[in-house]
């Protein structure tokens, strides 16, 4: 099953088995916006459960917050992460703070499904991965799946969670194929996955970079360990530290910018431990994304750039 189909099948089952669930957002009935991920949903569940909205990120997100407080479990789809910035007031000032402001007695069971669209000569305003910004906000849970299986599991877990969950979804993963449990299994939010066991270097990645790292490991000739973070907040520090305690080398891959980025947070977690670990990070440069295809090839990570980063370590 493809990554995109895993989203579609999971959404079908969520809407079918959780009567409080609602899908709302721009283009939730449009293949141009979200590919095949929402195909057939409105035909099965109707426009009361699958709500295609006007272009107003703030209004849509604020409305979903009201739905959550009224007992529903909305999934808000933002087809471009860049434009979710227009909804930062309800997200940061209201949604993230609600449970704490009411002493933990009122939940905010709201999922924000946010799609990153990189490449394709889309330019700087349509290519930004802002996961570090969201993971910085207390009260938000932030996940970045990398496979059809953990996307399906995370989506189901997020809908049942009493706290707001942001799912960072990357369009570059949509054609990826993998096995998926269609029995609505739950992936624990806050739990990483060790995809490969190794002894030389621990590679720490999330989302599409996990897939790229896996391909790089096949070509590296070294015995490398690969951790798929899955969850960015809360971060599974235990799994990270258990791994680097053995390998003593950590390469952190991040699809965001370098300065104040998420890779720096993971590096700080390792640096503050009691282990003597060599830490390096591979991030995007502190530059807006280019539009020219020739420049995109230099700007974004590749299997070759990951292989080169592995050579930074003497093992």
For residue 120, give the CATH number of its domain. 3.40.50.970
Q: How many angstroms separate the CA atoms of 281 and 274, rounded?
A: 20
Rounded to two decimals, the pTM is 0.94
Whether residue 36 has pLDDT greater than 90: no
**Could you tell me the CATH number of the domain that includes residue 271?**
3.40.50.920
Cα separation, 112 vs 213, whole angstroms: 27
* pLDDT confidence bin for 315, thresholds 50/70/90: low
237 shares its domain with 145 = no
Please compute Rg for the chain using Cα positions: 19
Report the pLDDT averaged over residues 98-120.
88
Would 178 be classed as within a structural domain? no
36 backbone φψ class: left, alpha, beta (φ>0; ψ -120 to 50): alpha
Residue 104 pLDDT grade (very low, low, confident, very high; cuts 50, 70, 90)? confident
Give the pLDDT score at 190: 96
Q: Express each pLDDT in 229-288 by its tens digit.
A: 999 999 999 999 999 999 999 999 999 999 999 999 999 999 999 999 999 999 999 999
19 and 163 co-located in one domain: yes
Give per-residue pLDDT as tens, 3-22: 999 999 999 999 999 999 99
Active-site choice (126, 131, 215, 301): 126
H or E element that contains 281: strand 278-284
Q: Which domain holds residue 12?
A: 3-173
In this structure, is residue 154 part of a structural domain? yes
Same domain assignment for residues 131 and 210: no
Q: Is the pLDDT of residue 27 over 90?
A: no
Domains contained in the chain, number: 2
Starting at the earlier edge strand, list the strands of the sheet with 141-143. 50-52, 21-25, 73-78, 111-116, 165-170, 141-143, 231-233
Residues 223 and 84 occupy one common structural domain: no
How would you class 199 by CB atoms within 10 Å of its CB: exposed for 0-12, middle for 13-18, buried for 19 or more? middle
Q: For 258-273, write each residue's pLDDT tens digit.
A: 999 999 999 999 999 9
Is 120's pLDDT higher than 90?
no
Contact call for residues 161 and 188 (beta carbons, < 8 A):
no
Is residue 301 part of the annotated active site? The answer reads no
Q: Is the pLDDT of residue 226 over 90?
A: yes
pLDDT, average across residues 59-88: 94
Per-residue pLDDT of 165-224, as tens digits, reads: 999 999 889 888 988 887 878 999 999 999 999 999 999 999 999 999 999 999 988 899
Closest CA to 25 of 81, 93, 108, 107: 81
Q: Point out the domain boundary residue: 173, 202, 223.
A: 173
Does residue 187 sit within a domain? Answer: no
183 domain-assigned:
no
Q: What is the DSSP letter of 82?
A: G
The overall average pLDDT reported for the chain is 93
Q: Within 13 A of 309's CA, how many CA atoms are on the CB side?
A: 27
């Amino acid at each position: 099953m493809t990554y995109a189909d895993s989203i579609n099948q999971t959404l079908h089952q969520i809407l079918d088995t959780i009567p409080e669930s609602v899908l709302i957002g721009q283009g939730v009935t449009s293949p141009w916006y979200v590919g095949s991920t929402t195909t057939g949903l409105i035909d099965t569940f109707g426009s009361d459960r699958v709500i295609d909205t006007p272009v107003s990120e703030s209004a849509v997100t604020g409305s979903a917050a009201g739905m959550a407080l009224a007992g529903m479990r909305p999934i808000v789809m933002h087809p471009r992460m860049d434009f979710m910035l227009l909804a930062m007031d309800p997200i940061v000032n209201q949604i993230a703070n609600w449970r704490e402001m009411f002493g933990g007695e009122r939940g905010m069971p709201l999922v924000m499904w946010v799609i990153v669209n990189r490449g394709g000569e889309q330019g700087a305003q349509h290519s930004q991965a802002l996961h570090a910004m969201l993971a910085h906000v207390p009260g938000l849970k932030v996940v970045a799946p990398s496979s059809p299986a953990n996307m399906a599991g995370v989506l189901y877990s997020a809908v049942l969670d009493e706290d707001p969950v942001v799912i960072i979804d990357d369009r570059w993963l949509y054609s990826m194929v993998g096995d998926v449990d269609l029995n609505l299994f739950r992936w624990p939010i806050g739990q990483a996955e060790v995809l490969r066991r190794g002894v030389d270097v621990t590679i720490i990645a999330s989302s599409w970079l996990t897939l790229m790292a896996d391909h790089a490991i096949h070509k590296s000739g070294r015995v490398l360990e690969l951790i798929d973070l899955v969850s960015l907040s809360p971060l599974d520090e235990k799994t990270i530290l258990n791994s680097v305690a053995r390998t003593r080398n950590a390469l952190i891959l991040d699809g965001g910018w370098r300065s104040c980025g998420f890779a720096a947070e993971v590096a700080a977690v390792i640096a503050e431990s009691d282990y003597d670990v060599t830490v390096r990070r591979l991030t995007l440069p502190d530059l807006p994304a280019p539009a020219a295809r020739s420049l995109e090839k230099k700007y974004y990570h590749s299997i070759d750039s990951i292989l080169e980063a592995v050579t930074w370590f003497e093992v």
